C-alpha cells in the first residue's frame, strides 16, 4: 500500500554524539572517561539498574567524565546516554 500525504514531510538528521573510546570495565566510585564527538550534547547518563549519574568531571565536545555511582549494579550491561534533544543512544558493549 502507498499512502500519500497532503502535508510535506521533512526528515531531519539525528544529532546523536559518537563514542569512539571508553573502557570496557569500570567500578562504582571510579571516574569513567569517554572520548568521541559531540559528547557535550549528553545531559543524562544512566547506568544499569536505571541509576542516573549525578556527578561529572570534564564535559567537552570530545571528552566526557562521569563518576560511576556507588549503587550501580555490578556485572555486564550498557550505559544509556540522553541528549539535550531527548535522543537516546547506548554504550558499545
Residues in the chain: 93
Residue ranges of the chain whose pLDDT lies below 70: 12-13, 93
Check: pTM over 0.85? Answer yes or no. Answer: no
At 12 the pLDDT is: 67
> For residue 38, what is the DSSP state?
S
Contacts of 14 (CB under 8 A, 6+ apart): 87
At 14 the pLDDT is: 73
At 37 the pLDDT is: 94
**C-alpha 3: how far from its chain's center?**
35
Amino acid at each position: 500500500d502507498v499512502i500519500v500525504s497532503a502535508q510535506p514531510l521533512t526528515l531531519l538528521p539525528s544529532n546523536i554524539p559518537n563514542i569512539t573510546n571508553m573502557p570496557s570495565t569500570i567500578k562504582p566510585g571510579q571516574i569513567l572517561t569517554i572520548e568521541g564527538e559531540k559528547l557535550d550534547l549528553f545531559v543524562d547518563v544512566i547506568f544499569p539498574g536505571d541509576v542516573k549519574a549525578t556527578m561529572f568531571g570534564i564535559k567537552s565536545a570530545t571528552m566526557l567524565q562521569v563518576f560511576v555511582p556507588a549503587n550501580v549494579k555490578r556485572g555486564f550491561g550498557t550505559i544509556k546516554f540522553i541528549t539535550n534533544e531527548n535522543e537516546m543512544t547506548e554504550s558499545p558493549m
